[in-house]
Structure 1
Amino acid sequence: MTVVVTAVFYPLPDRKQELADAMQRGIAAVHGEQGCELYAIHDSEDGTITMIEKWTTVEDLDTHGSGSVVEILRADVKDLVAKPATVTRMTPIPAGTEAQGQL
């Protein structure tokens, strides 16, 4: 079953671009992981950076979450965030067209 994740990162004041830049190394590595269908960062008007992810299975996501790439990401951002990221797992509810009604 597909799983979608949002991870909201809270940059320290005036460190948002530096945080986004620091996340790049981890993103490139995650794109090569099994089951990664989407792993992309987005700038938010509220001053946060949101990672939107899509994984083929919960098992793929769990493997990612306990892997070395996540440790790299945590190390790269630890001095740039005000608090831990808020991570939410979601199961898609298809609606409308397949192309537009789900990630």
Structure 2
Amino acid sequence: MAYLGAQVLGIDEVSESIHVATAHTQLTADRWKQAKRDCPRYETIGLNTVATRSRSHFDAVVMSELLEHVTDWENMLYLAHVCLKVSVIDLPGTL
């Protein structure tokens, strides 16, 4: 999505996951410069924090391979919805 021009924020509460994602972005820095696109940003935070600070901020929320790891999925979907701008839907995906 970032390569297509979207501003992307990736989040995870596991710092190692963020470290790996950030390292990958740094290794592909030339790709972003050539495409004249902003690379994705990554933060070690939870969805609750994002929902608190970024209410009605995002055009889309993508939760990939996540639902099977969450016990309170209804609250997670609610928090994702809080982050969305008006009249947008969120589509969680899982394998």
Shorter-chain TM band? 0.3 to 0.5
- Higher strand share goes to which structure? 1
Query: More helix per residue: 1 or 2?
Result: 2
